Amino acid sequence: MKKIYFLLSVLLLCFSQSVAQVSFQAKVSKNRLGLNERLRVTFEMNQNGDNFNPPSFNGFTVVGGPNQSVSNSWVNGVRSFSKSYTYFLTPTRKGKITIAQATIEIDGEVYKTTPIQVEVTQAVNNPNSPQARANAIADENLHLVAEISKRDPYLNEAITVIYKLYFSSEISVSNVNEVEMPKYSDFWSHLIPIPKLEIKRGQYKGQPYNYVTWRKTVLYPQKTGKLVIAPLTLNVSVDVPTNRRDFFGNRVYQKTPKIITAGKRTLEVRPLPQAGRPADFDGAVGDFDLNVKFNKTALKSSESFQAAIKVSGRGNLKLFSLPKLSAPSSLEVYEPEHKENVKTNLLGMQGSIEDTYTIVPQYQGKYPIPSVSFSYFDPVKELYVSLKSEEQLIDVFEGPTASSNNPGVSRPKKNTVNADPYFDFIKLETALLPMDQEGFYGSMFFWGLLFSPLLLFVLIVLIKRRAENHVVDPVSQKQRRAARLSKKYLSSAKKELGDKENFYNALERALHNYLKAKLSIETAEFSKDSISELLQQKNSQAATIADFISILEKCEAARYSPATAVSMQEDFDFTVQTITLLDREI
């Protein structure tokens, strides 16, 4: 019986210990504090848990945390575990404020802390608590400053905002995190990356300080008037010196969280002046150069040329459009290819933007390309600058001639019969020949009519014999037919410029028919080696043969790769040039 009681007592003791093992409680640094003091709240547990849910902290502002700490140790074979979440709070009102329950899940069960009530009194003039002293030291030696390059920029003028964190040599900072990032809703913004934070020496309000450049931003205002830049707010862990020293005489530092902000900044953005504004001004602000280039000024009507309009310099390069190129209607102008080479640094955008036009003439002649004008506003000189390129003359020296209606040429008038007198067109007098003159018999006309049947018979016999002697050569017919098809498909390829699939199919058929016409081979016999061998037998140059083979390979590869109108035009011109060289060599 005693053994049963002993076993029951041991089981009850083990059960009570297992129940008492889990502990989850909330602790505060003080139950009474001033309105200008801070409160530390720690939620501590003796077993590891998941899904920690802190209270809402009504009546307080969270200025630091959560800071998590874990302690796990073994002493004489006994395990000791502790885990905590710490918050730093500042009260927002006076009176009695209750910190609500926090919850956590441990081994599948939810545990809650007991609510804690604290009393907030009037602000303390000289708080004596160590935490209050640490906060005062941090406030005096830690500052976040936003340096703005210009407070009254023009619309679309570049400005820079550099955020610097200043701290004196009495303290040290660590674990800097952004609590609130600035917003640039009325600006075009670009954040310049900082690969590595470096501590430098500088001055703050005339005193020597260490500082770290935390953020660099380039802004282009998109509206006029007063624009507000939202503040940047950081959460910083500050090591503040205390009056205590360790065993070796070194000063002991106390870690305290600190929320600092650079404050909002207001800019007065000026509008661009209306006086002297050019008609072609499109919003470009900065310092730019205009360059218009033509890769050809003399060409055939079957060729193409490129015209490039390039604006380079420093300013809002991505925020305006390039001027358009105008050309006569006889020149077919394709949509431009846009290129940008722009880099952004503390001076703003720098580089160039470019539009490249592909132009194909239809007829021969001389075509003037009008000059291109570009205007921008220089914020340094505070005036508008207009740039203008020179007019260019394009000479197309081969190709069809455009038909023109000449208004100076008059049409022939129709024959009309005068109504009065009525019979002016009737000859009233005859021209009779006397009988004694030479008649029809024996004249040249008489003998011509007499021998014409004989001459006609001889002509028919000669034509018949020639037709019988002429044997139709089917190979020659195929060659002539292939030559006609080559010209047909080459013309079709020119019409299909811009349609990749149809263009390269037509170009390939033209090349195949050209080979049929020149080498007398069938389509089944096509291979690059046989084509090269046959062309060598026709005394073609090796370079020309390589160009021809490369065109065939490009037609095959173009089905599976992208192509632009410029590349298709270049392939067409290259094909015409290669076929012309083969004709001369063969």
Whether 404 is covered by a domain: the verdict is no
Q: With cut-offs at 50, 70 and 90, classify the pLDDT of residue 405.
A: very low
CATH of the domain at 394: 2.60.120.570
pTM above 0.85, yes or no: no
Q: What's the average model confidence in pLDDT over 160-184?
A: 89
Whether 452 is covered by a domain: the verdict is no
**253 and 162, same structural domain?**
yes
| pLDDT tens sequence across 265-324 | 899 999 999 999 999 999 999 999 999 999 999 998 889 999 999 999 999 999 999 999
Q: How many Å apart are CA 509 and CA 425, to the nearest integer?
A: 65
Number of domains in the chain: 4
| pLDDT tens sequence across 432-441 | 666 555 566 6
Whether 540 is covered by a domain: the verdict is yes
For the chain, the average pLDDT equals 81
**554 and 483, same structural domain?**
yes
pLDDT at 81: 80
Whether 409 is covered by a domain: the verdict is no
**76 and 37, same structural domain?**
yes
**142 and 115, same structural domain?**
no
Task: Please state the length of the chain.
Answer: 586
**294 and 391, same structural domain?**
yes
Query: Which parts of 334-417 are beta strand (E)?
Result: 337-345, 348-361, 365-369, 373-378, 383-388, 392-398
**110 and 88, same structural domain?**
yes
pLDDT at 440: 67
Whether 245 is covered by a domain: the verdict is yes
> How crowded is residue 438: how many other Cβ atoms within 10 Å of its Cβ?
8
- Residue located via tokens 């020179």: 390
Instruction: List, in order, residues 6 or more apart from 215 with CB less than 8 Å away.
Output: 161, 162, 163, 191, 194, 232
Q: Are 312 and 351 in contact (CB under 8 A)?
A: yes
Q: Of 76, 102, 124, which residue is a domain's last? A: 124
CATH of the domain at 100: 2.60.40.10
CATH of the domain at 557: 1.20.120
Q: Of 216, 238, 269, which residue is a domain's last? A: 269
**374 and 262, same structural domain?**
no
| pLDDT tens sequence across 562-578 | 777 777 888 888 888 88
| pLDDT tens sequence across 121-147 | 877 655 556 666 777 788 889 999 999
Query: How distant is the alpha carbon of residue 374 from its chain centre?
Result: 23
**167 and 49, same structural domain?**
no
**190 and 111, same structural domain?**
no
Q: Are 239 and 44 in contact (CB under 8 A)?
A: no
pLDDT at 422: 47
Domain that holds residue 389: 286-398
Q: With cut-offs at 50, 70 and 90, classify the pLDDT of residue 182.
A: confident
Q: How many CA atoms lie within 13 A of 451 on its CB side?
A: 7
Q: How many Å apart are CA 559 and CA 6, to the nearest integer?
A: 92
pLDDT at 18: 46
**Which of 291-295, 459-463, 497-501 reaches the highest mean pLDDT?**
291-295
Q: Say which DSSP state 497 is in.
A: T
pLDDT at 154: 96
**92 and 170, same structural domain?**
no
Whether 419 is covered by a domain: the verdict is no
Whether 1 is covered by a domain: the verdict is no
Q: Say which DSSP state 559 is in.
A: G
